[in-house]
Structure 1
Amino acid sequence: MTKKYPWLALAAVALFSGPAMADIQLGGPGVPVGVVVATKVPFKVSYDLPNSYRFVFRGIEARGDTLGAPGNSGTNGNGGQFHLSATVSTSVGGEKVGKIEFRDVQDFNLSPLKTLLITQAVYKATTSPISVSMEWAGQGNAHKPNGFFNILGEHQVAPPVPVGKLEFAVGDMLLTAAGTQPPGTATITRD
């Protein structure tokens, strides 16, 4: 059938492939893959993680390309400077920002993975879980952006409340490492 009508195979491919989707995948600790995206630049997207026990913000990374024209302003249509920033804040206070800059969208397209590590910020619950808010922002101009922009770190949900009981015999106990002296000290923490 395709020998007699070769255009039929091309029409079927065009019909079923659909329009090309372009976006910047936004990721971070505790964020399901593909759930948070930016479909155009500029953008500002937030995602909240309720009931968190611990969150560590270590930095950001980005890489991408564009499927269409890189922009509609600036030299040779490159759209001027292209900035990506991420902000992490919590219900217990504190906010930390990381920012990556590209010369223009073409630089974003062609550069290898850019990673910015920051002095890590550790947010931890004490008596009740905390809420963590992550915000990704992009300034500049990009037509049909395609790539990824990630917040780097760790996320732990609040652990279940311990149940049951722990019993010790009455009296003094010495804790020692195997084969060493003097006795050591044990500290029990919930982390």
Structure 2
Amino acid sequence: MPKISAPTVAEHRAAQRAALVRAGVEVLLESGIAGTIPRVVCERAGLTRSSFYDYFHSKDDLLVAIAIDAIESWDREIEEALTDVEPGLAQLRAYVDATMRMTADGRHEVAGALREADLSPSSMDDLMRLHDALLRPLIHVLEHLGIEEAQRRAFLVQGMIGAGMELISHGVDERTAADDIYRILVDGLGT
């Protein structure tokens, strides 16, 4: 029996899988979808190529695992940013600031790289449901503000957030983007 590097087999397997996902992220960001192949990911993780298939059936399964990990991490960080913030405009500001900061820190790069993936329709549907779940904190913020049809309006606000992310990727300062988005959301475009 192979040696395990954790107190239990389950912990060992979880650590091995996590190492493959981390290595997959690194390779994805460096080499894109085409370069994210099992051999390279395993080399980066320090594992044998055959061990890849103990955790993932295919490259697509790894890409989905990377996306799920990124979405869950993003969601945790947003929830943390909203913790202990007064409901209402203060939470809206915290939400905008956190998303712009996380974008500037590069946490959205994985999503950009994964856009090139030609995943199966069922995998894409699963990922889109998870991505839509990221709207949950924003919907709650809008509900606390008394916004009618908060779910529908959250999609519109998310469009503004997406535009801010795009600006940051083109060199606009995160603080400037956050200030502009917040001002437009609260005051409108003005005259």
TM-score bracket relative to the smaller structure = under 0.3
- Bigger helix share: 2
TM-score, normalised via structure 2 length: 0.23
- Bigger strand share: 1
TM-score, normalised via structure 1 length: 0.23
